[in-house]
Chains A and B, each alone.
Chain A
């Protein structure tokens, strides 16, 4: 079993890789790669991402054949996919950060600026927040409502289809914490930085058979 963490120049893959290695079974190999061939061969795909939506999209497109390899694996071959932070936001139809930028379009919706009802709330939404709503989903097993997860973001994914929103948190209004459908999930929070609940989620993903 090979899980590829896609390296397209966005952020710290070291800590993400270490968290996946920690939770991987002996027969599960964790690989960090920007090679479309490796993505095509992978049994599972993780797309991390930090920074601005438009920059991440540009970074992804800069590597010839990478976005196509991800699409083929996830949509064509139905391999399990986990997007993290901007990697999750890229699952949406379009992002509004630094101009309108198309995403993969797997989750109908837009990535829009967080605008808390309370003007005293800071943006970025940074720190540990608890999940207020969770769908019954294998990747959320033993995580659930009340689990504190680490967030750092200024935009979030507003889904057009409520059934694709798998978890929410509250920050002057509901925030999308996790999305998914079929063989794909994405978390706005960083499971690799969320201690016990995050490591549970990673383990659930590595063992998920959608």
Chain B
């Protein structure tokens, strides 16, 4: 049976982890590669790097980080942040990313999604959508970290990018991000029920029950979280044990192979 993916997300700036795990035994806790190794061993189902490097001069550090991560972590790696051109995607895939997430560039020019999917295949194109509630049952797309309103309806936009070839939607509730109040479930469900592709729920996880609700009530195919993992509140194993106990199918942290 297909299992629900549990995905830790690392914020990376100038090749260094900004928000990351406080593992005492790491030689270099600021190195995304070291953290990727820990998550690989812990049974994470995928890993997401969000590059928040401000200057494009430092983009090469990201390619180096992605390349070194692919040498040590044998699980899917999604990289996003600052992806604006087809060539940005090509470079990240060549470095070792499996999926690339497009955010602002997809809002500015939805046809970019089509060009990317035609060139590289839908399976490696994730569209990251940041949404805020503007009225009951209505959510608007925001860009620039939630500061700029676009007037675009989130459900309509999600349907549009999927029709253009997006293979996955990474949906972040800007109302909930950082609040630990749980996913925005009506938003998550509205998008997950509207599109044919998997939806990754993001923004607001504070408890183990929130992870379960994202799937059972939000209808998400995967759940992404940052701070609950990074600050050591919960391990991947704890999250998966809790989800399994609630009846959500998850991959055992040992991979399910007899020889592992």
Which residues of chain A have a CB within 8 Å of any CB of chain B?
A: 11-12, 14-15, 18-19, 22, 50-52, 55, 121-130, 142-144, 146-148, 150-154, 170-171, 190, 192-200
A121 — nearest CB in chain B belongs to which residue? B2
CB distance from A169 to the nearest CB of B (A): 8
**Beta-carbon contacts under 8 Å, B58-114 to A:** 67, 70-71, 74-77, 93-98
A119 — nearest CB in chain B belongs to which residue? B196
Are B257's CB and A125's CB within 8 A?
A: no
Q: Does B252 contact A (CB under 8 A)?
A: yes
Q: Which of B76, B197, B221, B259 contacts A150 (CB 8 A)?
A: B76
CB within 8 Å for A196 and B257 given contacts A129-B2, A148-B3, A148-B252: yes
Q: Which of B197, B252, B254, B258 contacts A123 (CB 8 A)?
A: B197
CB distance from B161 to the nearest CB of A (A): 15
Most buried by A among B120, B123, B167, B260: B123
CA distance A52 to B74 in the complex (A): 23
CA distance A190 to B5 in the complex (A): 16
CB within 8 Å for A51 and B221 given contacts A11-B93, A12-B93, A193-B76: no
Complex contacts, B94 vs chain A, CB 8 Å: 12, 14
CA distance A147 to B258 in the complex (A): 8
CB within 8 Å for A50 and B258 given contacts A15-B70, A193-B74: no
New A-B pairs, 16, CB < 8 Å, besides A124-B122, A147-B255: A11-B121, A14-B96, A18-B96, A19-B74, A50-B120, A122-B198, A124-B123, A127-B2, A128-B251, A129-B2, A144-B257, A147-B256, A150-B76, A193-B98, A194-B255, A196-B257
Complex contacts, B256 vs chain A, CB 8 Å: 130, 146-148, 197
Most buried by A among B121, B124, B221: B121
* Interface range for B: 35 or more
Are B197's CB and A122's CB within 8 A?
A: yes
- Give the 10 A-B residue pairs with the shortest CB-CB distance, closest first: A51-B121, A142-B259, A196-B260, A14-B96, A197-B257, A15-B70, A147-B257, A128-B251, A148-B256, A196-B255
Complex contacts, A128 vs chain B, CB 8 Å: 2-3, 5, 45, 251
CA distance A14 to B1 in the complex (A): 29
Are A171's CB and B2's CB within 8 A?
A: yes
CB within 8 Å for A14 and B76 given contacts A130-B1, A146-B256: no
Q: Does B31 contact A (CB under 8 A)?
A: no
Are A200's CB and B257's CB within 8 A?
A: yes
Are B221's CB and A148's CB within 8 A?
A: no
Q: Does B40 contact A (CB under 8 A)?
A: yes
CB distance from B222 to the nearest CB of A (A): 7
CA distance A18 to B76 in the complex (A): 13
CA distance A170 to B210 in the complex (A): 28
B1-17 interface bits toward A, Cβ cutoff 8 Å, 1 = contact, 0 = none? 11111000000000000
CA distance A83 to B98 in the complex (A): 18
CA distance A167 to B45 in the complex (A): 22
Q: Which of B70, B74, B167, B257 contacts A14 (CB 8 A)?
A: B70
CB within 8 Å for A15 and B98 given contacts A55-B121, A129-B1, A193-B74: yes
Q: Does B168 contact A (CB under 8 A)?
A: yes
Are B197's CB and A124's CB within 8 A?
A: yes
CB distance from B80 to the nearest CB of A (A): 16
Are B74's CB and A199's CB within 8 A?
A: yes
**Beta-carbon contacts under 8 Å, B168-184 to A:** 168
Most buried by A among B95, B254, B260: B260
CB distance from B96 to the nearest CB of A (A): 4
